[in-house]
Structure 1
Amino acid sequence: MDEWLEQQWTDAELERMREFVISMHETPGIGWQSLYRAMQAELWREPELATAQLARLGIRQAPAAEAARRWRERHVPIGEGALQGLLGRRMTILDAEYPPLLQRIPQPPWVLYAVGRMELLERPCLAVVGTRGPTAYGRQAAAKLSRELAAAGFAIVSGMARGIDGLSHEAALDAGGATIAVLGTPVDTAYPPDNRALYRRLCREGLVLSEFPIGTPVKPGMFPQRNRIIAGLSLGTIVIEAAAASGSLITADQALDMNREVFAVPGPIHSPKSIGCNALIRDGRAKLADSSETIARDFSHLQPAKPQASALPEEPQLSADEQFIYMLLRDEPRSADELFEASGLAFGLLQTVLINLCLKRKIELHHGSIYMAL
């Protein structure tokens, strides 16, 4: 792959190759290997393709016929209008802005569809992955590490799933920093649906990427495929709360295969959600991630562009009562009744304090009426 990409091509050849890559990639039934064989055979030089030419490369009859037709007719993709409506763009592996780190992975995506701030791809990236159902401890770890690493100038990469993914994106954005979401759906599809607000914010303030053409029917197998892109964009992958069979461990394995750094946040020995992370550390496959400074130290040779001071939100001022309750919740999540007993505040005053802390985004209310510090 590297030898082919490093060859010297004329501008006209590159443009024709780019058109061919997009046409083939967007043809249903044409996979990565089929397109690779077609490029190796230099079929992009052909003004027209015969179905038989593609069939000889091992491509099934129906997709071969459709790919030949699209190349002959210079087919305009169905999703072209939707992509333009999102102010999105295509980026092929032949384009100068294609991330160099991603270009080096096994089976890099031929085409990426992007919506948002393309310049974020120039930042040093760190992936944050983990469970879709984090504990209070996991939520705190994801928010704290992502916020601090984003403020230090790293772009936080994740998959916009529920749980650790979404928390990491939000924390990076709230820090005025950079974050990139790699979707397991086309870029016009917000999944899961309850992350629509986050998706819209990522399109405005961050960057949304996908290798799937608009119009591709969403299938469960598409989500694991994007994990290699999350790992491939990133200098390192941070795993926060992963059970023994977690998909996050697949992302960690892929990062290791790519010779990238892997970090794991240790968890309680009795927590099933920490089995995977603890095993990564125990087996020497991941470094202990106990702070953002520990992680950033491994990349001290880089000089990430930190967010401008004006872009960082001002820390809200807390009253004495608010600070007291906040410190109690920093120790551990508690219910309103537990806070009432521990604080000695009048119940009405306590409710006012809790509402103010939620509005100031210092704490969150979770299922079971449990409050947790952010």
Structure 2
Amino acid sequence: MSDALALATLIAAGGPLAPRRALLEAAGNARAALRDPSLWSASGVSGAQAAALRRPDATMLDAVSRWLAAPGHRLLAFNDPDYPPALRHAASPPLALCVAGDPALLWRPAIAVVGSRGPTPAGREHAAEFARAFARAGFVVGSGLAAGIDAAAHAATLAVDGGTVAVLGTGPDVVYPRSNTELHRRIAEAGALVTEHLPGTGPRREHFPSRNRLLAALCLGTVVVEAAERSGAMITARLAADAGREVFALPGSIRNPLARGCHRLIRDGATLVQSPEDVIEQLGAAAAEEAAAHRRELDRPAPAADEWTASNDAAMPGSDHEVLWKVLGFDPTDMDQLIERTGLTPSRLSSMLLVMELEGRVAQQHGRFFRVA
């Protein structure tokens, strides 16, 4: 059994998450975890979980195997180097993530744009306007691929070649709602679909609050465009606040029932915003802090500014920074080419580029990177 299928077996075992996470950490990888039953009881694995680990469901394994065979599909374990640190350090992180698309987007500073499934025309326009501005400012736009505000934010981001992440409450191969079939495909090709659920998992009511929790944790801030007082967007905003993330809300007409949720958030302390620049300005410092956290995550300090000049390449002979700087030119280069040229993992490469962007050494245009100094 491959490590990916062993990991799927751990996920499918169900039950309390903490014992399975402890087992994975103790064993080092999923195959080792399944091979050593002595670790199961030591990690707190229950009898029902142990039975599931001994006899994994063949239909599940076949579905996972077929999904993983497609290009751009990955199953990231909690202890995988490419697992996004924003989730790894969150409360009760998922054991693993199914990712279709570019996993490096999960390491970049992101802003969630959420709201009603049945927005007003103005609400849909506002979602698109804010998403476009965030993408052009270099932020990834996150949402939940629901109808309405979510779909408008994803589509607007793709229209300007920005990075967008859709956090799903289903398996990565299940489109919900069906009206988003084409958008689901486009995000898999040009952005990233991410979920803690295995392929073949259909929509279930209990999955969507956990979907909202992941979205809130992945993003530096959450912007609520339109929302009823009881809605998924309000849950996402509350979870973001609980996680210490920034919450923003757009005000609306007192006669619009979809503005009531936003007004409540503002009364409860969310930041009232009237333009995308209000959000971008406030999250700039958080993006810089995230870059510093990524440096620590990678356990390598960023080089001094003069070490990133072409004339001083020898300052860090053989380092990853030197390798990346040498392959970067003044012509835009996409991530796939940089990964191929440097041999770096997507997570490490993305984090290094983020640091260089924030320090003004590198810029990006339509997902391609180039030197500016």
TM-score, length basis structure 2: 0.70
1:114 paired with 2:102, answer: no
Give the conservation status (yes or no) of the 8 Å contact 2:160–2:366: no
Q: Secondary structure at the match of 1:299?
A: helix
Distance 1:287 1:128 in 2: 14
- SS at 1:245 equivalent: coil
Which residue of the partner structure matches residue 50 of structure 2? 64
Q: Does residue 1:292 correspond to 2:270, yes or no? A: no
Contact 2:227–2:259 (8 Å) recurs in 1: yes
Residue 46 of structure 1, CA deviation: 7.2
Of stretches 31-40 and 244-253 in structure 1, the one that deviates more from structure 2 is 31-40
* SS state at 1:112 partner: strand
Offset of 1:250 from its aligned partner?
Answer: 1.0
Matching residue's letter, 1:177: G
Return the structure number with greater helix share.
Answer: 2
Q: What is the percentage of aligned positions where both structures have the same residue? A: 37
2:151 paired with 1:166: yes
Verify the 8 A CA contact 1:22 1:92 in the aligned structure 2: no
Deviation, 1:89, is 0.6
Q: Does 1:193 align with 2:250?
A: no
In 2, Cα distance between equivalents of 1:213 and 1:135: 34
| Residues 181, 215 of structure 1: alpha-carbon distance in 2 compared, 3 angstrom cutoff | same
Q: Distance in 1 between matches of 2:150 and 2:217?
A: 16
Alignment equivalent of 2:82, drawn from 97, 101, 111: 97
Q: TM-score, normalised by structure 1?
A: 0.70
- Name 1:350's counterpart in structure 2: none
**1:49 Cα deviation after fit:** 2.4
> Could you tell me how far apart the structure 2 residues matched to 1:310 and 1:229 are?
24
CA shift, 1:281, in A, is 0.8
Shift of 1:217: 4.1
Asked whether the 8 Å contact 1:177–1:307 carries over to 2, the reply is no
2:264 aligned residue = 279
Q: Which runs of 5+ in 1 are unaligned?
A: 1-14, 312-374
Structure 1 residues 66-85: aligned runs within 5 Å: 66-70=52-56, 78-85=63-70
CA distance in 2, matches of 1:179, 1:141: 17
**SS of residue paired to 2:111:** strand
* Whole-angstrom distance in 2 between the partners of 1:208 and 1:151: 21
CA contact (8 A) 2:111 2:219 kept: yes
Gaps of 5+ in 2: 289-356, 369-373
Letter in 2 for 1:215: G
Between structure 1 and structure 2, the one with the greater Rg is: 1
Supply the distance in 1 between the matched residues of 2:51 and 2:367 (Cα, whole angstroms): 56
Letter in 2 for 1:235: L
Contact 2:20 2:45 in 1 (8 A): no
Runs of 4+ in 1 over 4 A off after TM superposition: 18-22, 37-46, 52-56, 303-307
What secondary structure does 2:165 align onto?
A: strand
Q: Distance in 2 between matches of 1:307 and 1:197?
A: 26
2:163 aligns with 178
Task: Name the structure 2 match of 1:207.
Answer: 192
What pairs up with 1:1-374 in 2 under 5 angstroms? 21-27=7-13, 29-36=14-21, 38=23, 47-49=35-37, 57=44, 59=46, 61=48, 63-70=49-56, 78-284=63-269, 286-301=270-285, 302=288, 303=357, 307-308=364-365
Alpha-carbon shift at residue 242 of structure 1 (Å) = 1.0
Query: Closer, same or farther in 2 for the Cα pair 1:242/1:190, shift >3 Å?
Result: same
Report the RMSD for the aligned CA atoms in angstroms: 3.1
